[in-house]
């Protein structure tokens, strides 16, 4: 069986303080056969041409500001993944894409925040791949090229957020506060579109989804889904299930697994 492909909502550093969400992520990883290595595609790294992160052990990238000090003291010393980086580079260059290496780039919070909860032992090699564009069809094509990694035991993870409008973030309401109507509407649409395997609508989200531009004023947190979709399609099946749902400070944390 090929390794699954995931799209997960990764939260922010305070995700670690949410007992329910951390348990959901841990329970999810427990159902997945241990991967050989992990390829992360995070909303927080846009670089063209497509780039691969450090394979020599660069430190984590604390790419957030204004949080309490203890969030900057989190560690995640996953082994580097030079073999996966080389294989990924080969698959993409064989498709005519230019690929860069950034040995100074460690894992950003879109990668390590969920991995701390899913694989806390930090003993699985990880490398991160940048988003070279936010164009849906280009990212889908990148994902298609990555599909052979699944047969080799690589877990491909797109890490974003199913709705991401920080103006909705209301600390005073608490993590379980009622979500805004546009967040709820977009989440419902996304759930139905994924269940129907409606790739055309998903790729054309800005014109097909209700409240799309409110749910995603900028689409970088939705973009990793396109890579995940492509990797699933490239293996011949878009069968999927919604593993995590609900809202966190008004934002949809819905997450999917492609089998």
Pick the closest to residue 38 from 158, 159, 156 (CA basis): 156
Whether residue 99 is predicted with pLDDT greater than 90 in this model: the reply is: yes
Q: Domains in the chain: how many in total?
A: 1
d(CA 162, CA 71): 23
pLDDT value of residue 159: 98
Whether residue 172 is predicted with pLDDT greater than 80 in this model: the reply is: no
Residue 125: which pLDDT band, with cuts at 50, 70 and 90? very high
pLDDT value of residue 176: 87
d(CA 235, CA 35): 17
Mean pLDDT of the chain: 96
Whether residue 171 is predicted with pLDDT greater than 80 in this model: the reply is: no
Backbone torsions φ then ψ of 99, nearest 5 degrees: -130, 130
Residue 163: which pLDDT band, with cuts at 50, 70 and 90? very high
Q: Which residues pair with 39 in a beta bridge?
A: 127, 156
pLDDT value of residue 120: 97
d(CA 225, CA 140): 8
CATH assignment at residue 144: 3.40.830.10
Residue 43: which pLDDT band, with cuts at 50, 70 and 90? very high
Spell out where 62-145 has E strands: 99-101, 126-131
> For 31-40, 105-114, 162-171, 204-213, which range has the lowest pLDDT when averaged over its residues?
162-171
pTM score of the predicted model: 0.96
pLDDT value of residue 68: 87
Range of the domain at 247: 5-258
């Amino acid at each position: 069986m090929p390794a699954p492909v995931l799209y997960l909502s990764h939260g922010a550093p305070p995700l670690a303080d949410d007992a329910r969400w951390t348990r959901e992520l841990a329970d999810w990883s427990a159902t997945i056969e241990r991967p050989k290595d992990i390829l992360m595609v995070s909303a927080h790294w846009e670089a063209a041409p497509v780039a691969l992160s450090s394979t020599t052990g660069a430190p984590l990238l604390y790419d957030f500001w204004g949080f309490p000090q203890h969030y900057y003291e989190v560690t995640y010393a996953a082994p580097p993944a030079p073999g996966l980086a080389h294989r990924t580079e080969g698959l993409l260059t064989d498709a005519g894409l230019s690929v860069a290496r950034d040995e100074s780039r460690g894992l950003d919070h879109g990668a390590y925040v969920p991995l701390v909860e899913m694989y806390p032992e930090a003993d699985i090699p990880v490398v991160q791949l940048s988003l070279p564009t936010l164009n849906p069809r280009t990212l889908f094509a990148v994902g298609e090229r990555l599909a052979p990694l699944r047969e080799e035991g690589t877990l491909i993870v797109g890490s974003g957020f199913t709705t991401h409008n920080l103006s909705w973030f209301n600390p005073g309401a608490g993590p379980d506060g009622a979500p805004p109507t546009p967040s709820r509407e977009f989440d419902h649409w996304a759930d139905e579109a994924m269940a129907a395997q409606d790739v055309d609508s998903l790729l054309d989200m800005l014109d097909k989804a209700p409240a799309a531009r409110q749910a995603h004023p900028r689409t970088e947190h939705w973009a990793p889904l396109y890579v995940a979709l492509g990797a699933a399609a490239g293996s011949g099946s878009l069968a999927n299930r919604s593993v995590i749902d609900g809202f966190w400070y008004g934002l949809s944390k819905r997450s999917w697994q492609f089998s």
